[in-house]
Chains A and B, each alone.
Chain A
Amino acid sequence: MPKGLVVIDKDRCKGCGLCIGACPFEVLDFSGEYNSAGYNVAHMAHPERCTGCAICAQVCPDVAIEVYRLQPDKLKEGA
């Protein structure tokens, strides 16, 4: 299981791409899926690389991203 997981609120995302550029592990990319406002929303293109660092959420101007981290005990199991 990846260490991190991001959930992007598709209705809030305006496809600005700031999260995509800010992610240090190139987890995110445009999804090609357009929301009701016509924006190309971001998604996890490479979820396996996510560390849950939350940089994407920090730079998101629309507060559209929630970040989850694997619980420490599960982390050990995975290792």
Chain B
Amino acid sequence: MPQASTQVPEGYVKAFFRPRSLSDAKYTYCPGCHHGIVGRLIAEAIDELGIQDRTVGIAPVGCAVFLYQFYRVDFVQAAHGRACAVATGIKRANPELVVFSYQGDGDLAAIGTAETVHAANRGENITVIFVNNQVYGMTGGEMAPTTLPGQRTTTTPEGRDVRLTGYPLRISEMLAQLDGPAYITRQSVHDVRHIQMARRAILKAFRNQLEGKGFSLVEIVAACPTNLKLPPPQANRWVAENALKYFPLGDLKVKGG
């Protein structure tokens, strides 16, 4: 599908352009939100693997609820937390499809923990993109399962008190203990170097599915500038200096690797 874009100026060649799998729709995210970068990396992976015409995405409930508008691929909107079960149903019904779910921390690591853990444990041959921005963005900035100790949210106005609400859930570490998953990794997109690494991880998570390797999950530690109440550049710094201390980056499980 041709992409509407500016004419190439004379003497120049296109070096970076919107991936073809992204639709023309504008993102509905706030300024500086990392969802947009992750969304683009997924589209780049779909383009690079040439799977636009057999990919099905699962849109979550949360800030990415409109995800289905952003791609030129088939989409299913799932109930909050149920994306891994819905993905399982689609993949089992039609294994020729490339199925990915896109979920936030509330979706994947709170209300959908059971569906996530069991899809991983079955080694379900799907790709899961997990955006961990430590907050419930869409509903108004409430505490997430991944909110850092002491972090202020609208439901932890004095900062998260671990004696009352427990600790941030490192779900990738949990999943990495299981025999089922093929690939569990944690990445971030707060600067260009990390974006490149996240890009390779997402590509691998899709390629694993094409190769029948089974459950692959890429966690992205992301920034929510709006709820951090920080300008986007400072929010990125906040991720690097705070969130990554609790959520260290790197591969947590690579089956056979």
Residues of chain A having any CB pair with chain B under 8 Å: 1, 4-5, 7, 11-12, 14-18, 21-22, 39, 52, 54-55, 57-63, 65-71, 74
Q: Is the C-beta of B57 less than 8 angstroms from some C-beta in chain A? A: no
CA distance A57 to B40 in the complex (A): 11
Q: Is the C-beta of B37 less than 8 angstroms from some C-beta in chain A? A: yes
> What's the least CB distance linking B104 to chain A, in Å?
15
> What's the least CB distance linking B56 to chain A, in Å?
21
Q: Flag if A61 contacts B29 (CB, 8 Å).
A: yes
Residues of chain B having any CB pair with chain A under 8 Å: 5-6, 8-9, 11-19, 22, 26-27, 29-37, 39-40, 191-192, 195-196, 225, 231-233, 236
Known: A54-B16, A66-B6. A61 touches B37 (CB 8 A): yes
Residue of B nearest to A52 (CB): B15
Residue of B nearest to A6 (CB): B16
CA distance A11 to B26 in the complex (A): 8
CA distance A71 to B232 in the complex (A): 34
Q: Flag if B13 contacts A71 (CB, 8 Å).
A: yes
New A-B pairs, 10, CB < 8 Å, besides A18-B32, A74-B11: A12-B26, A14-B30, A16-B225, A52-B15, A59-B192, A62-B29, A63-B19, A63-B39, A66-B6, A69-B13
CA distance A21 to B191 in the complex (A): 10
CA distance A11 to B39 in the complex (A): 18
Supply 8 A–B pairs (Cβ within 8 Å), ascending by A.
A4-B15, A5-B12, A14-B32, A39-B31, A61-B34, A62-B27, A67-B14, A70-B12
Q: Flag if A68 contacts B191 (CB, 8 Å).
A: no
Q: Flag if B18 contacts A1 (CB, 8 Å).
A: no
Residue of A nearest to B34 (CB): A61
Known: A59-B37, A62-B27. A68 touches B192 (CB 8 A): no
CB neighbours of B9 from chain A (8 A):
5, 68
| Cross-chain contact of B17 among A39, A58, A60, A66 (Cβ < 8 A) | A66
Residue of A nearest to B33 (CB): A61
CA distance A78 to B179 in the complex (A): 58
> What's the least CB distance linking A42 to chain B, in Å?
11
CA distance A17 to B30 in the complex (A): 13
CB neighbours of A11 from chain B (8 A):
26
CB neighbours of B195 from chain A (8 A):
58-59
Residue of A nearest to B11 (CB): A74
> What's the least CB distance linking A50 to chain B, in Å?
11
CB neighbours of A15 from chain B (8 A):
31
